[in-house]
Structures are given as C-alpha cells and as structure tokens.
Amino acid sequence: MLMFDEMQQRGHEQVTLLSHVPSGLRAVLAIHSTVLGPAIAGCRLVMLDEDLVLKGALALSESMTLKAALTGLNYGGASCVLLSPDNLTSEEGSDAQGHAREALFRALGRQISHFGGRLILTEDVRVSGQDIAYVAQETNSTMGMNTDTAAATAYGVYRGIKAAARFTLGSESMRNVRVAILGVGTVGRLLAELLHREGARLLLSDTQAERAEALGSSLDNSQAMDTQSLLDAPCDILAPCAFGYSIRSQDVPRLQCRLIAGAEHHPLSRSSEELVREAGIAYIPDFAINGAGLIASAHNLTPEAAGEKIYGIVSRIAALAEQHHKPPHLVARKLAERRIELIGSLGRA
C-alpha cells in the first residue's frame, strides 16, 4: 500500500506512529478530519501485520468522520490501532497481566496528551472501559469509559436493520426473517439475541467456530456454520459483525441476500460496494448503522435511546434512497459529506 496516496485519496490530516519500548506500545494513530470538532478515535487492540494495521487505521478513521457527521455530533474522526504486545499474554498471573495492560494504556495516554485536545480516545475492539480509564489517568482526552458501548452498538444495529428492512423487505418485523450473522463476538452475540427474541431464523458464523456453535446451541431456530458456507447460504439479511473487509469482491456473486447491514467497520471495499450495487443488494454502511455506542458516549444516553436515533438515521437514508432511486450507501455518504462541507464552511466565512 502506498501510504501517502491512500491518505490523499481519503483526505487524511495526519498519521502518527506511537512507540514506547518498556510498555510495548506500538500504534498507528490516524486523524482523518477535525473540521467538525476534535477527532474521536476508536482505540482497538489487534494482532495483525503492520501494513494491515495502517490500512485499518486509515479506513476506520474515515468511517468515524462520516459516523460523527451523520449522527449530528460536533466531532471529527480518527482511529488508534495498537499492536498487541507479547507481555499482555506472556507474563504469568493475572496481576502481572493487569500491570502490563495498565502500563500500555497509560503510555498511550501520555502520548495522546501531546495532541492538546485535538483528539479524544474511546474504546473499540478488544479495548475495555477499564483500558480507557488507564488512559484517562494521563490525559483528559477520553470518552465513554462508563458507557456500555457494545450494548448500545448492538441495539442500534438491531434498530437500524429493522428500519432498513421496512424499505427493502416490505416490513420491519423480524419474525421468520433469515438473518446471517458473520462474527459473533460481543456485539454480534448481542445482536443475535435481540433478533432471536423477535423470532428471526439465524445463521451464525465466526472465525472461532466454537463461539458460533455455542451460541447456536443456546438459541432456537439458529444454526452455526463455517464462514464460507454462510456466504453461500440463502438469507434475507447478511449482518457482518467481524473485524473488517469480511466480504471480498470475489464473494459478492455468491451472496443470496437482499440487504447487508451489520456492526462491522468497512465490511466491503469500495470496489465491493459497487459490485453489491450491481447485484441489486441494498447496503447500509457501517457509519450509518453502528454509531449508537458513540451517540450514547457523547450524550450519556441509554442503549435504547441511542438506538432510536440510529433507527431515525437509517429510515431517512432508506427513504431518500427510494425517493431518488439511489443506493443507500451512496446516499449515506452524501449526507455525511454535505454536513461536513456546510458546517465546515462556517469557520471559513
């Protein structure tokens, strides 16, 4: 990947590499935009190649910009992706591992403090509220450590799916609707439980097969299967809730769904989005449907209240898409970019 070409194409302001050898801190911090306000950086902990970490940080930060704009928040977008250090798992005893985690996130906090309020850190995948509390010992630039962001995100995705289904399937009822959930970590599992309560018929898959099997055995009308089989399975809704880019371009012709809507950040590449459009599959993008956790953190709302805001956002996108005969993912992007353009112009007047 050509880093500067990618930054310029997406419109990034800054990419910084963070390092602190004693704590094992190695991170990519990407600031996409501060036009609307300080950039909210979702912080996630990964075990990936360095090139994939950079690619992920660039994509995640752009999504956060669009998410903040679409949800009406006065924040920009950023991302902080940490490479998981060996000492988080290699040190013996839970106390030792706890100290290693504290050191890692306090080291991150000290480096974030140098950005002078231009950046606000919040939790993302494999980063907990306690981790952000460690960061907060070193900087005030944090958000959401006392919010159950996973519960809010899952409920928002659930409500967003219902809003989209009203336009694509003709009803927002999930009874007997076939939903394939790709990735049943914390958010995917909570989403599955919400859909199950309403009578949906679930297909479940995860890279950790035992996780999908355990969930499938605990929910009626649910079936666990491997990821490749799930992509081939006939369903009404495909809900990606994995780690990113889980639907590749070569996978699109295999899909037998009518709607793609899930919690996963950037489940499709730009080329895959075009292929989905050509296949006649409606796609609700991540930044339009998975923002309830951010809304709950920013406004101190319950998951239910934040989820209702997502329902309204997705309903508006779907209605405009139907009215103007446009794909919903393009409508969502246009709405977000237009708000950034208009509100950003106030500072230049």
Reading the block at residue 295, the tokens are: 């809304």
Per-residue pLDDT tens digits for 45-71? 988 778 788 888 999 999 999 999 999
Per-residue pLDDT tens digits for 158-177? 999 999 999 999 999 999 99
> Are 255 and 279 a contacting pair, CB within 8 Å?
yes
Per-residue pLDDT tens digits for 123-137? 988 898 899 999 999
> Are 18 and 115 a contacting pair, CB within 8 Å?
no
d(CA 293, CA 156): 8
180 has pLDDT over 90: yes
Angle at 158 between CA 244 and CA 32, to 5 degrees: 40
Residue 92: what pLDDT? Answer: 44
305: nearest Cα among 295, 315, 313: 295
- Does 186 carry a binding-site annotation? yes
d(CA 179, CA 202): 5
Residue 1: what pLDDT? Answer: 57
Residue 87: what pLDDT? Answer: 66
Q: How far apart are the first and last CA of the chain?
A: 37
d(CA 60, CA 73): 17
Per-residue pLDDT tens digits for 72-125? 999 999 999 999 887 675 444 455 567 899 999 999 999 999 998 899 999 988
Residue 96: what pLDDT? Answer: 52
Domains and CATH numbers, the chain: 3-136 (3.40.50.10860), 149-333 (3.40.50.720)
Residue 4: what pLDDT? Answer: 79
Stated as kind and residue range, the H or E segment containing 158 is helix 149-168
Per-residue pLDDT tens digits for 206-235? 999 999 999 999 999 999 999 999 999 999
DSSP states along 183-230: --SHHHHHHHHHHHHTT-EEEEE-SSHHHHHHHHHHSTTEEE--HHHH
Reading the block at residue 126, the tokens are: 């494999």
Per-residue pLDDT tens digits for 230-281? 999 999 999 999 988 899 999 999 999 999 999 999 999 888 999 999 999 9
- Does 188 carry a binding-site annotation? yes
> Are 6 and 62 a contacting pair, CB within 8 Å?
no
pTM: 0.93
Mean pLDDT of 182-205: 97
Partnered with residue 29 across adjacent β-strands are 16, 80
Partnered with residue 19 across adjacent β-strands are 26
- Does 187 carry a binding-site annotation? yes
Phi-psi region of 14 (alpha: psi -120 to 50; beta: other; left: phi over 0): beta
19 has pLDDT over 70: yes
